[in-house]
Every structure is written in C-alpha cells, then in structure tokens.
Structure 1
C-alpha cells in the first residue's frame, strides 16, 4: 500500500487506520490525498485481515476543512484540467465510501467542511463531538455544494438543508445528527478512548462504551420558520421571507445569504431541489460534477477564492452582481452534461 505523508495509512488489530495529516491546513484535501485514500479503501475492501476502517484527522482543529481551494484557484486560471480530474476521483471515492462493504467509522471532530463532509458523512458509522463544526460553505466562494452534499442536504428534516446550503453557515454535532449527516455523539474528551476501543473491540463495542445522547439540536428547534421561509420559489423570495420574519435568526440568515455569490445561490437552490428527486448518491454526484465543471469556468469561483483566501480582502465582486440578473438560462447552463460526464467503476 502506497504511503503518502499527507495521509497516514496503517492497520492495527484488524482495523484500517486512515489519518488525514495536513494539520496546518486543517487537513484540507489535495489530489494526492484523495488518491492515497482511494488506494487504501480499495485494498482493505478485499483484505480479510481488515474488518473495519477508522478515519481521523491529525491535529486539534478538525477532521478536514474541505478541498484545497487555493490549488483550484490557480488551476482554474490556467485551464482547470487538474481540478476536473481531482473532482472526478474524489466523487468516485465518496460513492465508494457510501457503498463500502465494511464498517467505515468517521470521527467528525472539530471543523468538517465541504470535502471533509464527503469523506465522512457517507460512511456507515459517523461520529460527531461537542467541538464539531460542520458545514457546506461553498456559496461563499462562488461554488456549489458537492461531494454528495446536495444528496444529504435534500434529505434533512423539512428545509433545514436548504437553509444550510444557502447560508453556508456551520452547524453543530447535535445539528448534524438531527439533519442526517451523522449518527453518534461521543464527547471530544473521550475520543482517544473511543479510538482505542474501536481498535481493541470493534465499532459497536466502542460506541456502547463511549457514545452518549446528543444535546438538543438548535436548528431543529427553528424548523418552523426555516420551513416557512425557504419554501419560497426563488432565492430572492426566500431572502424577502427571511427579512420579513420576526425571528432574529431569520433576519441574520437573510444578511448572510445576501453576501453570497448570486449565481451560486440560484444554482445551489436548484441543485438541492434536483437532488431530492434523484434516487442514488451516484446520480447526485454526476449532477454535482456538472455544476462543479461549470463553476470552474465561471467568474465567481475564481473571484470568490481570491477574495476569501488569496488576497483576503473579503470583498468579492460577483458577476452577475445580484439575483435579479441571474436568468433561468444561466442556472440551467450549470446542469448541462460535462464532457465527459462522471461515470463510476462498473458503469463505463
């Protein structure tokens, strides 16, 4: 099995251990990491000496802050070919995790954003903690939720997923469980003991010993106004509903959404609605590959990354500048088939 310094791969007592190992970058995924993970996952799938996988992140800040978007920024400015290859392999890995034949234990501690959600929230044993800060913040950089994120966002109670997608705001571990992004709650301070128990006794025994009842979800408690406001037809209508509501968090959501890329917002709303009607994760990932490919050619992705992470002036100049200028044709163009489209092993 190939070793990659950005992903530490080993086995212990029948458990395949994958540790994302770029702590200074909050373990943001680059292409080499996706390749190393895919290789390990494939090797262990048919290895009779491995019965469980355990995914963790190095350092104290989080499992994974997403993809390496600064690399995507530079690639987009020079043609975008590497980003398309990265996404293709990343999304195939996301689907493989979802269909994995063995327990796939993901420890979703600290920051878990974007691509970090993709390598964890499709697993069969998804563990969050009191420090979990999860989210799909793509609209803030002119991008569209991907890595199967729209599949999960479309399947939350009510319209919690639409709220999370359009605001890009982070949510807690308790919220993640309520929304269907996670299953189990283990206190952060018990994680070392939990991981040791997975290695010693397996996932079920480790959960029995260390998982506790999660706190109440604050997002779930707000479902009444979320369902009302986000049922509006367009993003502009949603913002108007949020602004007109007497719940302060609704007004805050309106202000946040108004700072995001208008075209990314319009496409994201459509993407979540389409994902709700698609049967399989693979179908959704194929659609996301199309929106990602289109975003790579867009003005707003490069501009959004520039403003947030390159120049860090936090002042993106979006184009179109506001929602009224985003046409149905503009949105539809994001869903045109990619060339070539995403296919999965066995589907070629």
Structure 2
C-alpha cells in the first residue's frame, strides 16, 4: 500500500490548494460536505485536534439544510486512516500521567457514538488501510464503502492494547466467532470479508471512487451507489468458519489456542502461532471485552467499557512495550510481562473493568453501568 503521498490516489480528493497543511480539510461540493483526513505521511493517523475538528464540522453540518450528505475520505494513496496517534500515547504512558490520552479517548469515543447516531447519511470511503481509530470514524457510519484495496483491521493486541473506538461492539456482532478471531489476531481483511463481518455495506472499485464522489454532489446516496457499486472480490473467512467458530467458542484464550493447535487445519495452527506472539494480557482482556460487549448491547455502553479498559491500559507495561517494539524502535520483538497466558490471573483481567467513578465516559446515561451484566 505504498506510493506517492500527494493526494492523487484513487480515494483522494483533488488538490485542496491553500490550507493543505490542515490535518482535516473541510469542503462542500453540491449537496455533500467532505471531511478529508490530511496527514498522508502519517497515514492520516488521528490526533486529538483532528477529532475535535471533525466533531465541530459535524455540528455545523447537522444544522445546515444545504448539507444533505457527509463524506469522509483520506488524503494520499495509502488509505483512509491507520489509527490513532500512538506515538503520542506511548510518550504519555511512558513519561506523563496519562491525562492527555484519556482526554483524547474521551473525545474520540464520543465522536464514534455521534457518527453512529448522525441524522444525515454519513458516507465513509474505506479505501486502502483502515485500522484502529480509522475503523472508529468509518465503520459506525450509515454508509460504509470498501474497495478492492481495503485492508481493515483492529490490530491492538499486537501493541499490548485492546480494540477500542467501538471495535468490540462491531466485532461482537459479527457472525459466529469471526469477530473474536479478528479481535484477538488483529488480522487484516479485504472488502469481501469486511462485508461479511458487518464492517462495510458496499464495494466500489477504487478507480470509480472519484466518479462516486462527484455523483454525491448531485445525487442522493442510493442513486450514486447504484451507479458505482459492484460485487466485492471473494473473501477468505467464509471458508474458515468451521474451525473459527468451533475454536473461538472456548471460554479462555488458553483453550482457544489449544483447539487451534489440535484442529488439523494448517491455517488454524498458523493462527495459534500468531496468537502466541500477541500480548497475553491484551488477549485475555480482549476476549473478556468481547464477551461483555455482547451482553451490554448498545454502542454507548460498550464505549463506556472500552474507556475503562483503555485508561487502565495506560499504566501497563505491555502498552508501552508494544508500541516501542512495533512503532518506535521497530524491532518487532516485544517483551511482554507477564510473558505467558498462564501467568495472567483473572484478577489481572478484572482490574481493567474497574469503575472510574467521576471519570466515567458517561455516554449511556442512568441505568446499567458499563461493567455490569444486564443479564444478571
């Protein structure tokens, strides 16, 4: 997915001219208002300032009768967004008190919830790389468009973190145990599998994206889609459902790994080997988060849970070490602590879900708290 970063890729907007240094470009074309994530050299990674700018734009456009559709795209050729600015999170977790990251997540998760409830069509063009925070600003939208170039993932366990931005809500609702597989492994999927898993709605060839964006200026979204949407390239997950559903139905990560190794399918064994490279703590917290998300139901309640988990992760060894190994030093050899699944106790997992008191995200309002099981 490499290439020039000059905004000329299939999903890119035309050269924006003055103001191009802005991290989020706002423009209106006919009946459509456009958000363009504009940090192509950082693969459009989200900063706190970008989250606030997007939220402000959504407020203005929600009350503007001339705006009938909102569209989000990414500048450059490589993708919509590779996630949050984890270098900043690394520095805050290592050297700061975590307050900057907590404030970023508070606004980001509120934005995710807002996108899911936005009263006008919100069209997310998920061309190229869409990961982590990029999923948060796209997959909660009402119209999610992938292309044959799409690579969608929630890769957090590889950096000692847990899927957030409503990712555990989305993956908990995927068919069978597909979401558990994607959350624990962090595997990237293409257009066909994104549609299968409920992370996207339509596939438009990348070469047709400029024409699709042009048509959104004049046409209602369904008519523009009718002109450009096609069947996606075939995915891989449907053919793996048998072992995915049977292995990931287990109640513990240890048992999931055991079943994968014993299954006999080479892909299952390879998946087990992948899991054993991930943060053991993150794997166990992720599995618990997904199971709880299924019971919590509403996105807002799941985001409250994710906020607790994310804030707890700031004080862990694995988040700092994972980002160091994968992003800062890039030696790809994180030294997890604890180093093995058996060393992660139930109490170690449970502390990630501890209530935050007055610091709760507070999205869901009164009623069932994020950490409570509504089923009893």
User: 1:232: which partner in 2?
Assistant: 250
**1:18-167 alignment, distance < 5 Å:** 18-77=35-94, 78-167=96-185
Give the secondary structure class of the aligned counterpart of 1:297. Answer: coil
Q: Does the aligned pair in 2 maintain the 1:4–1:33 contact within 8 Å?
A: no
Give the secondary structure class of the aligned counterpart of 2:67. Answer: coil
Shift of the 345–224 alpha-carbon distance from structure 1 to 2, 3 Å rule, reads closer
1:341 lines up with 2:346 in the alignment: no
Q: Does the aligned pair in 2 maintain the 1:4–1:32 contact within 8 Å?
A: no
Q: Does the aligned pair in 2 maintain the 1:56–1:108 contact within 8 Å?
A: yes
User: In the TM superposition, what whole-angstrom CA distance separates every residue of 1:59-104 from its partner, at most 9, and x where no partner exists?
Assistant: 0100000001011000112111110000000000000000000000
User: 1:14: which partner in 2?
Assistant: 31
User: In the TM superposition, what whole-angstrom CA distance separates every residue of 1:43-62 from its partner, at most 9, and x where no partner exists?
Assistant: 11111111100000000100
Report deviation, 1:279. Answer: 2.2
In the comparison of the two structures, how many residue pairs are matched?
Answer: 347
1:256 lines up with 2:271 in the alignment: no
Report deviation, 1:215. Answer: 3.0
Long gaps (5+) in structure 1: none
Report deviation, 1:246. Answer: 1.5
Q: What is the root-mean-square deviation of aligned Cα atoms in Å?
A: 1.6
Q: Does the aligned pair in 1 maintain the 2:25–2:36 contact within 8 Å?
A: yes
Give the secondary structure class of the aligned counterpart of 1:201. Answer: coil
Pick from 190, 195, 200 the counterpart of residue 172 of structure 1: 190
Alignment partners' CA distance in 1, 2:220 and 2:134? 23
Alignment partners' CA distance in 2, 1:345 and 1:294? 20
**1:175-214 alignment, distance < 5 Å:** 175-214=193-232
User: In the TM superposition, what whole-angstrom CA distance separates every residue of 1:148-196 from its partner, at most 9, and x where no partner exists?
Assistant: 0000110011000000011011011110000000000001111111111
Long gaps (5+) in structure 2: 1-18, 367-376
> Which is further off, 282-291 or 185-194?
185-194
Alignment partners' CA distance in 2, 1:342 and 1:190? 40
Alignment partners' CA distance in 1, 2:251 and 2:264? 20
Q: Does the aligned pair in 1 maintain the 2:300–2:364 contact within 8 Å?
A: no
> Which is further off, 232-241 or 97-106?
232-241
Alignment partners' CA distance in 2, 1:271 and 1:37? 28
**1:215-230 alignment, distance < 5 Å:** 215-230=233-248
Alignment partners' CA distance in 2, 1:185 and 1:293? 35
User: In the TM superposition, what whole-angstrom CA distance separates every residue of 1:275-322 from its partner, at most 9, and x where no partner exists?
Assistant: 011121000000000000011111100010011111111111111111
Runs of 4+ in 1 over 6 A off after TM superposition: none
User: In the TM superposition, what whole-angstrom CA distance separates every residue of 1:241-288 from its partner, at most 9, and x where no partner exists?
Assistant: 111111111111111110000000000000001001112100000000
User: 1:323: which partner in 2?
Assistant: 341
Q: TM-score, normalised by structure 2?
A: 0.90
Q: Does the aligned pair in 2 maintain the 1:3–1:36 contact within 8 Å?
A: no
Alignment partners' CA distance in 1, 2:290 and 2:83? 19
Shift of the 114–79 alpha-carbon distance from structure 1 to 2, 3 Å rule, reads same
Give the secondary structure class of the aligned counterpart of 2:71. Answer: strand
Alignment partners' CA distance in 1, 2:122 and 2:194? 18
Shift of the 290–4 alpha-carbon distance from structure 1 to 2, 3 Å rule, reads farther
Give the secondary structure class of the aligned counterpart of 1:10. Answer: strand
Alignment partners' CA distance in 1, 2:315 and 2:332? 21
